């Protein structure tokens, strides 16, 4: 009579053991971050003049530096390099792969927990694919959100993105001073679930990198600590030049 009970105990112990040794729960959201170079270059010493929204990164909402032994190798993305140089450039050090190396180590190795992103080529090519699919540059221009001397409201910019993509983005600005009368548009984040379906960025946003700066403090590497969520009531300047 005790055999079934002992069997249940063994099964329970096995299940418990399986839970303990299972890998950490995979991320549930990807954040495709767009940079406005003119704003960034007004704060940093850039060596590349770019006047369109560029990629900053593709960030999963869980994990940072998930596999330090998985080294970046540009030869694995050689076919992507022409597009990388144009769409995902390092504005500070254009001749170096340091930006991509940093993004791979910090975010790519964590995104790679998903089979759809489990190689350097899959990770970088997917980021480029999503960037081109969204075509943020054309969408903003189509609805008359263009770099100029005039100011925009937060709701104007958010409204265009929400109406076109059907989701709420995360819009970040540079704030010249604490009580400034204007803020400067700097980054726009658009989010996807694990199946690359668009979703609101405000849902379960837990990326540690955003609060700590997206690219750290390494020489020749972007620092985003100057950006924070745009104030909804302060006019936004969308600069046409640094």
Report d(CA 107, CA 117) in Å as an integer: 11
Give the active site residue among 34, 35, 56, 105: 56
Residue 206's closest CA among 187, 225, 191?
191
Take residue 58 and report the two structure tokens written for it.
Answer: 């593709």
Task: Assess contact for 37 and 54: CB atoms under 8 A.
Answer: yes
25: annotated active-site residue: no
Q: Is 56 one of the annotated active-site residues of the chain?
A: yes
CB 153 within 8 A of CB 105: no
* Residues 221, 179: Cα–Cα separation, whole Å: 29
Cβ atoms of 105 and 99 closer than 8 Å: no
Catalytic one of 34, 35, 107, 175: 107
Q: Is 107 a catalytic residue?
A: yes
**Cα-flanking dihedrals φ and ψ of residue 23, to 5°?**
-70, 160
Which of the 8 DSSP states describes residue 187? Answer: E
Ramachandran sector of residue 220 (left: φ over 0; alpha: ψ -120 to 50; beta: rest): left
Q: Residue 185's CB: how many other CB atoms inside 10 A?
A: 24
Closest CA to 94 of 25, 156, 48: 48
Tokens of 77: 């993305």
Catalogue the active-site residues: 56, 103, 107
């Amino acid at each position: 009579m005790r055999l079934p009970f002992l069997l249940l105990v063994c099964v329970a112990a096995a299940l418990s053991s399986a839970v303990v040794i299972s890998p950490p729960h995979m991320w549930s959201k990807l954040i495709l971050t767009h940079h406005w170079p003119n704003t960034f270059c007004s704060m940093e010493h850039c060596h590349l003049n770019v006047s369109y929204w560029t990629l900053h990164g593709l960030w999963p909402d869980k994990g940072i530096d998930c596999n330090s032994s998985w080294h970046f190798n540009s030869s694995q993305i050689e076919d992507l390099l022409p597009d990388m140089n144009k769409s995902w450039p390092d504005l500070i050090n254009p001749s170096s792969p340091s930006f991509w190396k940093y993004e791979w180590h910090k975010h790519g190795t964590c995104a790679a927990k998903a089979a759809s992103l489990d190689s350097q080529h899959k990770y970088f090519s997917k980021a480029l694919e999503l960037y081109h699919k969204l075509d943020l540059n054309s969408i903003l221009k189509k609805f008359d959100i263009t770099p100029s001397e005039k100011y925009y409201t937060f709701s104007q910019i958010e409204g265009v993105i929400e109406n076109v993509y059907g989701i709420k983005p995360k819009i970040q600005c540079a704030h010249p001073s604490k009580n400034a009368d204007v803020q400067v548009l700097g980054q726009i984040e658009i989010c996807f679930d694990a199946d690359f379906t668009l979703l609101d960025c405000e849902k379960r946003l837990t990326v540690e990198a955003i609060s700590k700066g997206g690219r750290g403090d390494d020489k020749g590497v972007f620092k985003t600590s100057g950006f924070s969520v745009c104030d909804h009531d302060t006019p936004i300047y969308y600069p046409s030049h640094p």
